[in-house]
Each structure stands twice: as C-alpha cells, then as structure tokens.
C-alpha cells in the first residue's frame, strides 16, 4: 500500500478503541483521532478470576461501547490495548503480567482480532500513558520526553524523536527500578534501593510499616489502628504536612529520591519534557515544585536548558487515549 492510500484510510477512519487494562480496573474508550472520548466504560478487572474471564470482559465491554455509539465497527481503525506487564508488540503476545494471575504467553492481539476483525495493537501501560500525553495531552508537539507513572508502583515511558523507545527486548523504561541507593529498602523486584521502593505509594507505605515496627510506636498510632493499605496516600501526605516526624521523614525522602532519579534521567537522556502522571500528582504544585527544585539543583546545567517538568493533563484517560492513538502512529 502506498503512503497516499494509507493516509486516506487513516483520514477516513477517525475513531479507535483504547483499552487500559489494569490490575484492579479496566478502562475502555471510543476515541476520535482528535483525542475526544465518545464513549467510556470502567469495570473491575477481577484479575483473580483468571485470564479467560478478564479477556471475556474486555470483549464484552468493547461490544457494549460499539453498540452504544453511532460509530459502526467499519469506521474504527482498530483497538489498542495497554497492558501492565512484559509483552512483545510485534507479535501481540503478553509474556507476563505480575498483577494479572495466569497471564503467561497470552496471544492477546489474535484473540481480540478474531472477535472484532479489526487491527489490534499492544503496548506496555506506561508507554500507552506516555503516548496519550504526547498525542493529546501536555506533551503535544514534544519530540523527546520521559513520562513517569507514579502510582502503586512506578512505571516509565520513553519517547524519542516522537517514537516510543522499546529497547532491545521491549523492556525499556523501567524507571521504577533504577537504583538510587545500593543499600536502600527491598523492592518488589527483589533488588534493593530502587526508586519504586522509596517513591511509589507501595514503597512509602512499606517504609512506614517497617518504621512503625522498628520504633515500636504505641498502639494509639493511626498506623496500628488501620490496615495501612486502607490509608490513602493523601492522608499520608497530610500527616507529613502536619509535622508527624516519622511520616514527614519518609515522605521527604520519597520526594528527594524522586528528584534525584529524574535528575539522573535528565543527565542521561536530555529530554525536552518530563511528564509526571498517576496518584502522587494529586499532591499538586507543592510536590511538583519540590521535585523541580531538586532536579534543577542536581542535574547538569547543559541538560536543564528549556527543560519542562510538568504534570500530565489527561489524568485517568492518558492510558485509554494513548492506547487508541497507537493506531495512528506514523511509521
């Protein structure tokens, strides 16, 4: 197919379906080529019920989206799926997804293609979020960017020369597992001192939990009274602001290491923009300014010229719009 007729097809089909498959919920949207969300469904993943049920749920939700909208499947470029795990987008197989039990070597593209008879593409979820911000969010027009997803864990998406950088084995962008302290706390990956062990929600909570035990803090303490998983990150940051010394210490270190990690990435990659997305960004400008101060204090001056460090614009929709926009990537 020559580039002119390929372009015509892209122009004719102005819609795609984006799927953001998460460990706890699945988001599915019908997205226009301008990034407008026409239909959206959010449903619990219920990952523990196994992959067959999860895949059935994805198919069912896509059927629902199509039947609710006036856009027929014939006007849809295809389906893009962001998956939280290791995958090979060339062959459409999910190798492994740590938060989705039973997902090993799943030919997800073929399974969805057989159902809908349209092209299906896969991408790592953090790459999809980065691509969403690049296509329709804060990073439109930016060629070189790093996106950090700051949630339960920390993920990363790298975009260079307006293309997602995958690395040799499609495993690039594991920003959560860059090591910021060789003697640091144990990380979910089995290593010590990873950025995720300091600056993710799970890292912050694990450190508080360990500190409470070490200090034998009395049973009036909030962290004894409640399951730590039920305490929100917002509450933890509020306690830090109120001056709870133990919490403030851990939160300050979380921000410090986040800044240090980003400064190293800025020195290595010299991006135009660093985009932060995910739950931690709910802490607002105070957090952003603290991170910026650390990066601008620590990174090389040459790498800071014109650097922007910003929060994403698309919030919960970065993943679905980015997954849909995968269908409109230029080669």
Q: Rounded to an integer, what distance in angstroms lies between the CA atom of residue 42 and that of residue 256?
A: 34
What lies within 8 Å, CB to CB, of 49 at 6+ separation is none
Give the containing element (helix H, strand E) for 204: helix 201-215
Q: Rounded to an integer, what distance in angstroms lies between the CA atom of residue 194 and that of residue 307?
A: 24
The CB-of-209 to Zn ion minimum distance in angstroms stands at 18
Which residue number, 265 or 325, has a Cβ lying nearer to Zn ion? Answer: 265
Q: Rounded to an integer, what distance in angstroms lies between the CA atom of residue 20 and that of residue 9?
A: 25
Which residue number, 118 or 154, has a Cβ lying nearer to Zn ion? Answer: 154
Where in 172-286 does DSSP place strands (E)? 273-277
Which residue number, 154 or 299, has a Cβ lying nearer to Zn ion? Answer: 154
What lies within 8 Å, CB to CB, of 188 at 6+ separation is 153, 196, 197, 202
Which residue number, 82 or 203, has a Cβ lying nearer to Zn ion? Answer: 203
Q: Rounded to an integer, what distance in angstroms lies between the CA atom of residue 106 and that of residue 95?
A: 7
The CB-of-261 to Zn ion minimum distance in angstroms stands at 12
Is residue 319 within 8 A of residue 124, CB to CB? The reply is: no
Q: Which two tokens stand for residue 166?
A: 């995958």
Which residue number, 141 or 190, has a Cβ lying nearer to Zn ion? Answer: 190
| C-alpha pair distances (Å), 262 with each of 30, 132, 166, 291, 307 | 33, 20, 19, 9, 12
The CB-of-196 to Zn ion minimum distance in angstroms stands at 5
3-class SS of residue 9? helix
Which residue number, 158 or 187, has a Cβ lying nearer to Zn ion? Answer: 187
Q: Are strands 76-83 and 120-124 parallel, antiparallel or unpaired?
A: parallel
The CB-of-191 to Zn ion minimum distance in angstroms stands at 5
Residues that bind Zn ion (CB under 5 A): 177, 187, 189, 191, 194
The CB-of-178 to Zn ion minimum distance in angstroms stands at 9
Which residue number, 37 or 189, has a Cβ lying nearer to Zn ion? Answer: 189
Give the count of alpha carbons within 13 A of 34, CB side only. Answer: 2
Give the count of alpha carbons within 13 A of 20, CB side only. Answer: 28
Which residue number, 57 or 177, has a Cβ lying nearer to Zn ion? Answer: 177
The CB-of-263 to Zn ion minimum distance in angstroms stands at 19
Is residue 19 within 8 A of residue 309, CB to CB? The reply is: no
The CB-of-295 to Zn ion minimum distance in angstroms stands at 21
The CB-of-193 to Zn ion minimum distance in angstroms stands at 8
């Amino acid at each position: 197919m020559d580039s002119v007729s390929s372009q015509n097809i892209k122009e004719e089909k102005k819609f795609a379906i984006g799927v953001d498959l998460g460990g706890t919920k699945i988001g599915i949207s019908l997205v226009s080529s301008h990034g407008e969300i026409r239909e959206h469904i959010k449903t619990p993943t219920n990952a523990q019920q196994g992959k067959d049920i999860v895949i059935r749920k994805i198919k069912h939700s896509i059927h629902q989206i199509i039947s609710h909208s006036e856009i027929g499947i014939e006007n849809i470029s295809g389906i893009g799926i962001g998956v939280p795990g290791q995958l090979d987008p060339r062959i459409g197989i999910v190798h492994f997804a740590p938060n989705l039990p039973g997902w090993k070597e799943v030919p997800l593209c073929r399974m969805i293609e057989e159902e809908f008879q349209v092209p299906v593409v896969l991408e790592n979820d953090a790459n999809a979020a980065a691509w969403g911000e690049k296509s329709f969010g804060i990073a439109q027009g930016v060629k070189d960017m790093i996106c950090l997803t700051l949630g339960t864990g920390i993920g990363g998406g790298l975009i260079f020369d307006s293309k997602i950088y995958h690395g040799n084995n499609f495993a690039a962008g594991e920003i959560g597992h860059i090591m910021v302290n060789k003697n640091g706390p144990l990380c979910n990956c089995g290593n010590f001192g990873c950025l995720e062990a300091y600056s993710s929600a799970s890292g912050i909570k694990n450190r508080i939990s360990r500190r409470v035990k070490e200090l034998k803090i009395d049973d009036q303490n909030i962290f004894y009274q409640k399951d730590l998983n039920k305490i929100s990150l917002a509450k933890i940051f509020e306690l830090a602001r109120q001056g709870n010394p133990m919490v403030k210490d851990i939160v300050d270190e979380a921000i410090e290491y986040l800044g240090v990690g980003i400064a190293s990435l800025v020195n290595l990659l010299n991006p135009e923009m660093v985009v932060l997305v995910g739950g931690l960004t709910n802490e607002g400008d105070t957090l952003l300014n603290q991170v910026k101060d650390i990066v601008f204090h620590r990174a090389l001056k040459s790498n800071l010229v014109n650097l922007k460090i910003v929060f994403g614009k698309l919030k919960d929709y970065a993943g679905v719009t980015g997954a849909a926009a995968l269908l409109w990537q230029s080669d």
